[in-house]
Structure 1
Amino acid sequence: MSEDSVLLGHGSGGQMMKRLIDEIFLEAFDSDALHAGNDAGVASLGCSARIALSTDSFVVTPHFFPGGDIGRLAVCGTVNDVATSGAQVRYLSCAFILEEGFLLQDLRRIVASMTATAREAGVSIITGDTKVVERGGADGIYITTTGVGEVPSHIELSGAACKPHDCVLVSGTLGDHGITIMSQREGLSFSTDIKSDAAPLNHLVSSVLAAAPHTRCLRDPTRGGLASTLNEFALASQTTIEIDEEAIPVRDAVRGACEMLGYDVLQMANEGKMVAIVPEEEAEAALFAMQASPYGKDAAIIGRVLESAPIADSSGLVQVRTAWGSTRILDMLVGEQLPRIC
């Protein structure tokens, strides 16, 4: 790493974050589950049962925003990360870092939101921790959630499993969460209401796996957006993934906001969307399963894994086929597009 201290870009979900994880955390911790590069680590308990475990911290500001709040985000984010392993999500823990002076009425509101979201997802919050720091020691409230689930014996999901002719699906419109947070933080208003897509997707995932049992991998495209997710898949599987720009669902208001502000919607954060790579022969069944979910009505097939890489010696590549018939390379976000998105 060329930097000598932590920068905001190291939390972006893009190339800087990947370098930080690879060169510091992976090198030090060096476990097979970590090297798999998935959102949840899968491990055996020494018997036939396998568990999926994921942990995440939430520092978003503002704490309340259209479509959700930091509490809903914390539950959804961890439930979705565990679900990407194919696990049946069972339990959550939650830890709170509270700043002296944080309003108890806001804390009650956040906890009530977490309770409602956990109930919707069908999971139980069974343990936790609370710490209070002095004024100025935190931005009101930070939440860390850890989730655990049971992985069925027949399920093995991994970005390394992508194969030529596989189809790329996304469960709905992109960029909603990132633009919502940006607009609230900067006091921007749009002619159409935009709200976060924060949602628990474990039931949607279960439906997809039932309809498409040979699904290769799943990922929720949070920090770094669709661009980072697909690049991670392409790198893990040493393939080239091509997506069709016109097939990608994006709300007009979100697209307009991105164009106005100079953002690439494919790099914007999402908190209630799922990306799936499935065999071509199961793609329509997976799409139907997504669209039958209350959080998947705008699902679409947006691309495919190519037969061979169009660029020699490529170690993994994502390209976008534009409306004009040309292609462009879709890179991971380099630095920080919008800080503290979750």
Structure 2
Amino acid sequence: MKLTKLLTSAAVALGLATTAMAADKTKVGFVYVGPVGDGGWTYEHDQGRKAVVEAFGDKVETVYVESVPEGPDAERVMTQMALDGADLIFTTSFGYMDQTINVAKKFPKVKFEHATGYKQAENVSVYSARFYEGRAVQGHIAGKMTKTNTIGYIASFPIPEVIRGINSAYLHAKKVNPDVQFKIVWAYTWFDPAKEADAAKALIEQGADVILQHTDSTAPQAAAQAAGNVVTFGQASDMGEYAPFPRVSSIIDDWGPYYVARTKAVMDGTWASVSTWDGIGAGMVGIGEISDAVPADVKAEAEALRDALASGEYHAFTGPINKQDGSAWLAAGETAADFGDDGLAGMNFYVEGLDAEIPN
């Protein structure tokens, strides 16, 4: 009898210890719009998840679900993560915004971080990167390297983030090459290699010898490589397997430091709802190595532009800039920063010179 009681007590103690250990472990969930092997957007978010694991070891447990459509299924995935004990959930695509808010209301003790959105709550933060700074650098290189004066742009969805990128790339291409024109194809997807390849081929057929993309697969790189003599840029990750040509540089999203900091905030009880929008200077946007396929003088100019953006000496949207309809947006010397970030965050217009319409 005494032995049985001792064994029972030991089992209870062991169970309590196991429970305590489990309680000490912070569980962090990630909801991905694409596959972790997309080579772009989702790949870099998953690198951020791995940075959390590396930083905290057995003090943290991470889980993720990939290729989650933007819609009702996203809400189901988030709900299940919360029910499974997640303390913190990163929802990593703009189209998860309303679903994140909805689920956060049901689980007020769970912290949520939504990427590229603008709706906050007491337990929902938002975060994004100033990708338009990287587009400025790409636009400069593109304007200098095009021989046909036609630059193709594969766009995903007509949201401010994408429109900002198109405007920034165009302005900086136009600044160094007044004859440049942009051709834009809307793919209406973040990740669909077949659609992205078709878009790249269509742009090349229209005379584009430089392709920029705001979609996540390497399919446009492969299409450009097959066509020959078409310049490309990596999107979200380095896509360095296509360097030194056609991929001559890239925008790299580095989410790791942010994910580590926000996880630590949950662990030490200091987490609060914030809005974060960082760029090249803070390291959230990186410019991938500019390959030797870019002329040395152009490379030097692009690196100088990168450094000026990083230091704040230069803003990617510096006037004079008119809207597409000819009305003034920024006067000479004015920058978008002079008026806060609201105008940039809600950008819904093309700048003057772009011969295209923003779809509804």
The alignment's TM-score, normalised by the length of structure 1, stands at 0.22
Q: Write 1 or 2 for the structure with the bigger share of strand.
A: 1
- The structure that has the greater radius of gyration is 2
The alignment's TM-score, normalised by the length of structure 2, stands at 0.22
Higher relative contact order (CA 8 A, sep 6+): 1
